[in-house]
Amino acid sequence: MSLEITDELLAHHKLTREEYAEIERILGRPPNLVELGIFSVMWSEHCSYKSSKIHLKKLPTQAPWVVCGPGENAGVVDIGDGLVAVFKMESHNHPSFIEPYQGAATGVGGILRDVFTMGARPVALLDALRFGDPKAPRMRHLVSGVVAGIGGYGNCVGVPTIGGECTFHRAYDGNILVNVMCVGIARADRVFYARAAGIGNPVVYIGAKTGRDGIHGATMASAEFTAESQSLRPTVQVGDPFTEKLLIEACLELMEQDCIVAIQDMGAAGLTSSSFEMAARGGTGIELDLDAVPLREEGMSAYEILLSESQERMLFVARAGREQEAFRICRKWGLDVAIIGRVTDTGRMVIRHKGQVVADLPVAPVSGASPVYDRPAAPLPKPVPIVPESIRAAVDPPKALLQLLSCPDLASKRWIWEQYDWGVGADTILPPGLGAAVVRVHGTSKALALTTDCTPRYCAADPFVGAMQAVAEAWRNIVTVGARPLAITNCLNFGNPERPVIMAQLKAAIEGMAEACRALDFPVVSGNVSLYNETDGRAILPTPQIGGLGLLEDVNGLVRPDRARAGDQLVLIGESRGWLGASLFLREILGREEGAPPPVDLALERGNGAFVQAQMRAGRIRACQDLSDGGLAVATAELCLASDVGARLEIPVSPAEEAGWLFGEDQGRYLLAVDADLVGALLADAAKWGALARPVGTMGGDALILGSYPPISLAELRRAREAWLPSWMGEAA
């Protein structure tokens, strides 16, 4: 029965005529419908990275401590003593907009599987969330749904959610971003890869039954939204964190008991992508028997079984002779388990259903020969620097500070993270709300410092500099807590790459990221690309989200922002030029979104970081806060609130330069609280190092005093910071 290839059929499968012609060329015949469906998902933007691949190659991925870079389920870095950290970030943007609870929940489930698939026990989750204008329709519903979904899933599986970000901008009104990062710990000699091997070895299915949910989720994630997109709800999957918890324990036990040769989770494009990827990486073939797949409902077709995105399922190649032990472990955890195929040496994927061969495809071309596009990029406009005179408007600094602290981007996200179990595991030593989060490596004296960073308004003004800044800020956040930055994961969220201006943003952001990663020895070890984040032609701000990981060799080296004491001197590290272009101050206080983002001098960034690290090792820094959104004034306020001590901050500039001094967002800066007796030694070292360090104030009292302006009580600062989110949610603070 030959298939009639209509434009409608191709459009439904999101394949172009040219891509279809390539499929016929590969096969030497027309595909049947099942095969067309397989090509559709395997060649989707989501699975094939066809628009970004040629640019992603520019990212540095190597360092002596990198064990496994991009290409596997997650990145792996060495953390010493025979242990590795395994981590990745992934988006679940499109599903979360359509159905926020399940979209976000299954985003958590998916990234957890990417990590434990590699033999690592997940130990931390972080979430970088971007929502639309708080006044936009559905926005409250989206925030509460996403947060409840993340909590509902993460809390139940028992992995602490310890950090992240949450900001708001109208550019996300029609496309919110939910980027979830997961970090796990494994033994270095027990990392598992998705490479099918051992001809004749059984291919085993474990986990939840397969249903009709989420069919073509990967293709949905590769298309723009229109006003009707909410009718796509049936393509959103439903999560069951309880099954996921059983799956984590069962898989780790299977690995411990040496039952597994290769393993891959069934994520986007389900059984299809997991089987093709394992065969492709192993250079083998696989025969699959769909009649053996545990099904949730009657009468599912081969097409549906292959493309279902039912959650909490894994596929593994069992070690010959260990099948019975594997089955015993799966049953102990109450999970469905079935042998659904064998590894072959044919290099072909042969799929049978009801006694018929329903697909017979060469593995390598389907998995590896997906089209690669060098899409045209338009020249990007250079941002016009703001005219300094234009911001010499009368600004009342204390009022501006309170307004900044209470704006949606800087307001405390306590309402969010108190819905997450951030303490399960009893290893969270720096909880949410204090900058980078820190989790101890269980049973050791090491810890991991984790952060997510991106400043989309910088990226909108200049994607190259914005992406550099995102990497630099992640690096700085890790240094701030006393850790050594090791590597990053990323999530590149952009609009429709078929538009040259979007392609230009993506290209520039990757290039900026690459430059910063190289300069800071901070390679990319895993990542994800989410394109088509636009609705009716309006794209999100370019959001190259960074997830950073650093190592504290000894938890006693932890530097916290909440340890400043009355009498401590405040020392500012780094150069302050009063940069207000694309700043939060400019947007929130003056209502202007313009200007170039602050320049990122990577050599200075590195030098300042190294100086701070050396001073931490010398035991001279009591508390540390990095400078970012809102500049020095906001950093000082954050230090005061964390430590519950007031401060006096000097304003050593002319009135015209006050706003820049207090709220400028120059990069590469840190604010230190230093014991008064140790300041002299620190400043002397700074002079030797050539690092710019200047005393800017003193901790003490119960108010923050900016220069000669009236004091702002800690209570008032706290109210400003804590009130917005609960009150927007309709609750008393």
Partner 1 sequence: MRAAVITFPGSNCDRDLAVAMEVCFGCKVARVWHADTELPPVDLVGLPGGFSWGDYLRCGAIAARAPIMAAVRRHAERGGYVLGICNGFQILTEAGLLPGALIRNRSLKFVCRPVRLAVVNRNSSFTSAYGSGPITLPVAHHDGNYVIDPEGLARLEGEGRIVFRYLDNPNGSTADIAGVLDARGRILGMMPHPERAVDPLLGSEDGKPLFASLLAAIGG
**554 contacts partner 1 (rule: CB under 8 A):** no
Judged by CB under 8 A, which of 431, 695, 700, 707 binds partner 1?
A: 431
**127 contacts partner 1 (rule: CB under 8 A):** no
Residue 13 designated active-site = no
Contact between 694 and 433 (Cβ < 8 Å):
no
For residue 276, give the nearest of 475, 541, 44, 500 by alpha carbon: 44
d(CA 703, CA 714): 5
Q: Give bridge partners of residue 571 from the DSSP assignment.
A: 672, 695
Judged by CB under 8 A, which of 419, 538, 594, 703 binds partner 1?
A: 419
Judged by CB under 8 A, which of 242, 381, 644, 715 binds partner 1?
A: 242
Centre a 10 Å sphere on the Cβ of residue 81 and count the other Cβ atoms it contains: 12
User: In angstroms, what is the minimal distance from the CB of 729 to partner 1?
Assistant: 10
Closer Cβ to partner 1, 55 or 440, answer by number: 440
Which residues, in sequence order, are CB contacts of 17 under 8 Å at separation 6+?
10
Residue that the structure tokens 């500070």 belong to: 401
Which residues, in sequence order, are CB contacts of 64 under 8 Å at separation 6+?
none
Size of the site for partner 1 (CB under 8 A): 32
Closer Cβ to partner 1, 243 or 615, answer by number: 243
User: In angstroms, what is the minimal distance from the CB of 268 to partner 1?
Assistant: 24
Closer Cβ to partner 1, 207 or 456, answer by number: 207
Which member of 46, 55, 169, 353 is catalytic?
46
Contact between 70 and 61 (Cβ < 8 Å):
yes
d(CA 89, CA 180): 5
User: In angstroms, what is the minimal distance from the CB of 369 to partner 1?
Assistant: 42
Judged by CB under 8 A, which of 87, 205, 417, 724 binds partner 1?
A: 417
Most distant CA atoms of the chain, gap in Å: 86
Q: What angle do CA 263, 264, 268 make, to 5 degrees?
A: 170
**216 contacts partner 1 (rule: CB under 8 A):** no
Judged by CB under 8 A, which of 422, 475, 532, 724 binds partner 1?
A: 422
Q: Which two tokens stand for residue 661?
A: 């001094």
Q: What angle do CA 327, 332, 336 make, to 5 degrees?
A: 60
d(CA 633, CA 639): 10
Q: Which H/E stretch holds residue 573? A: strand 569-573
Q: Which two tokens stand for residue 464?
A: 């190259």
- Of 8-16, 63-71, 385-393, 421-429, the window that binds partner 1 (rule: CB under 8 A) is 421-429
Closer Cβ to partner 1, 8 or 731, answer by number: 731
Judged by CB under 8 A, which of 60, 132, 145, 241 binds partner 1?
A: 241
Q: Give me the 316-335 binding string for partner 1, x by CB under 8 A, dash otherwise.
A: -----------------xx-
User: In angstroms, what is the minimal distance from the CB of 158 to partner 1?
Assistant: 3
Spell 309-323 as b/e; 16+ CB within 10 A means b: bbbbbbbbbbbeebb
Residue that the structure tokens 């009893």 belong to: 426
- Of 90-98, 413-421, 641-649, 714-722, the window that binds partner 1 (rule: CB under 8 A) is 413-421
Residue 94 designated active-site = no
**429 contacts partner 1 (rule: CB under 8 A):** yes
Which member of 12, 13, 55, 92 is catalytic?
92
- Of 151-159, 180-188, 484-492, 684-692, the window that binds partner 1 (rule: CB under 8 A) is 151-159
Closer Cβ to partner 1, 709 or 728, answer by number: 728
Centre a 10 Å sphere on the Cβ of residue 615 and count the other Cβ atoms it contains: 26
**285 contacts partner 1 (rule: CB under 8 A):** no
Q: Which H/E stretch holds residue 274? A: helix 270-282
**100 contacts partner 1 (rule: CB under 8 A):** no
**732 contacts partner 1 (rule: CB under 8 A):** no
**726 contacts partner 1 (rule: CB under 8 A):** no
Active site residues: 46, 92
State the residues that interact with partner 1 by CB under 8 A.
148, 151-152, 155-158, 240-243, 245-246, 333-334, 417-429, 431, 440, 555, 731
